[in-house]
Structure 1
Amino acid sequence: MKTIFVIFIAVFSCLIWASEFTIELSWDEFEGECNGFMSGSIGKDHGFVSGSGSEEVLDGKLVSIGEGMSMDANQVFKINSDEGYFTFWIKDKFADDDMNNDPSLIARAKPMISVYQGSNLIDLIKVPAGSGLACKVFTLDADSGELDTEIRYFPKSRIIVGRAVHAVTGDPLEDVKVLAIDYMKDSQMTVTDESGVFIFPVEIGQYMIKLSKEGFIGTTADIRMGADETPRELIAALSPEIKEFRIILTWGSRPRDLDAHLSGPDPDGGDFHIWYRNKYPIGGKDFLDRDDTDKYGPETITIYKPAVGSYYYSVYDYSNKSKKRSKHLSRSNATVKVYGQNKLLASFEVPANMKGNCWHVFEINESHEIIPINIVDFVKKEQNIQ
């Protein structure tokens, strides 16, 4: 009996520790001094830790062990959670946006990151040479254990980096006027380059980003620069001016593939249900302007030829379509904006901390009123979405 009990404890312990992730950061100390930062989101809760000290956030689910506590690495981090999204960054300890802005410091230190799940090494990342004061290394989905290496150097730490794209084609938009307005109503202005990119140096605080371009409907986004002082990223989809209903879906880096669904009355009779697998012309036009399969969006649907009846719009998590209890969609930062009459008519954010693979967003009724639905549930087959 005692033997069985010991075996049970051992198996139970393995199950517990299998969900723990350990991140070890090391570098060439003769060439530089790196500092790791890990931020995490679980539901509506957010937090970050720095590798230079011993600290924990998110009720102990995200931990920095501190320096000098391991024989194998300079800094060690732990994720004691089987849910949430986490992002790992590297900075140089002595670099600063204002004083010491040498962009070669991180690369010279040759940082290397080992990622373990339990005792199993799941990735070994050698950061390649690059230029910048901050380097984004990877994002980790603690639920699935999926790690997405996304090495990108940023010129500074306290910046908002955005990209403006055409909502219908997905192409970058040049010469978009961009305003960043802080909580004191002070503003700074720039324009996007040929790649649609804009950058604002900012301080800790809340900012409203406003984008405008002749011939397009303006759009806004709210971004907060937190105490972690790591770059904030934004994809802004601008729609050409249009009188008909246009629906634009954008989201974050996870899940990789969300799909927009629209059902409603066919002007030639009957009903339709449009999504990426069911494209067909309605009144001579394909309502699905753009399908995006590689995160962020935009995914765009336009009701070019309205008919009498009600329309229903939903978002389906194709990446996690079979996971009934998944919260990936709810954590996707998905936003749906509805345009018409050359202006923004409505905006929706996915409900937080909900289980399911389908977000039923809104209805457009026969009077052309936009009626919020805004619930998340599970749909077994996407063709059954209504």
Structure 2
Amino acid sequence: MTHNGVFMRSSTPLFPAILAGFVAVLVGYASSAAIIWQAAAAAGANAQQIAGWMTALGLGMGVTTLALSWWYKAPVLTAWSTPGAALLATSLHGITLAETIGVFIFANTLILLCGLTGLFARLMKLIPHSLAAAMLAGVLLRFGLQAFSHLDGHFLLCGSMLAAWLIAKAFAPRYAIVATLLVGGVVAWAGGDVVTDKITLSVVMPQFIAPTFTFTSLVSIGLPFFLVTMASQNAPGFATMKASGYPLAVSPLIIITGGIALLFSPFGVYSICIAAITAAICQSPDAHPDAGKRWIAAAAAGIFYLLAGVFGGSITGLMAALPLSWIQTLAGLALLGTISGSLYQALNNEAERDAAIVTFLMTASGVTILGIGSAFWGLVAGGICYSVFLRARRT
């Protein structure tokens, strides 16, 4: 196996990589599945249709993640657009279900065109590596803080998870997250925090919904949704891969993810994008010490996506069964290595340090301007600083 031209071998067991894939999918669903249900409900979808949307999304993300990771032998994790779902949840009231599907088709067509024309790839090449790393650190900061914030109110559960992580990190670092997950699970179960009475394993087939296209909905919802998805989901996703050492060609990935999303739009697949936060879990050294084998973690995530898709009707019950403090503490600890590595890359070059810290702080602020999230504005603010400082040094 090679990575960046270097031959690598490792006899490391695959369990940490598989676990990283599981944690990535768990965090992805736990953090935003409820938002997608809200968006679908705002469009007038009934419970059966919403469950079908979750099935289609899980299958679409599973196929793309598994296929792309295997093909490129790199941890390429896809995801739905969480910022896009948040926008839809607040914008679809009063819009018919058929018009909503029309919005999905319109936005995914624009994304596909971005890939076919290479426009998005040219824009991504303009982002300096230090700013990409700073943006990633800013995106992940909130998750790192959550690893400790639940100590106030859930001290026994979160304290035991932190202790398990600390001890395992010192003596068996490959299995630190494994120990954290197991200890937290046992403590949560013993404390009665895992509620399983509403979990049912049900398979719900997606329903085809014929689209309706109206100028008003396409311009007022479809266009902002497209911009938010590209700026707040795909851009951070590619920046995350670049910061983690996987500078894959942008256009082919946009074509494939956008094309699959377009194909399944009538079944409720509103977007399939390149993941950022959850991808960082699979791209971390904790997933596999051999950078050339971290694709296994993403491939495992693809399989878990497929399972989540098959049982799409059960996702809400499963998420409700797990304590939020357990999920967020686990995610935060799983991302600590990526956060520290990103900060080191962002601030290592003294000439770019000021621009990088602006990117980091703007991204971490969580500010939303014109409906676009802070990751995009962090890159914009940092890019302006980078250009101004570079010009000043040359004069």
TM-score by length of 1: 0.26
Bigger radius of gyration: 1
The structure, 1 or 2, with the larger RCO (C-alpha pairs under 8 Å, 6+ apart) is 2
Identify, as 1 or 2, the structure richer in helix. 2
- TM-score, normalised via structure 2 length: 0.25
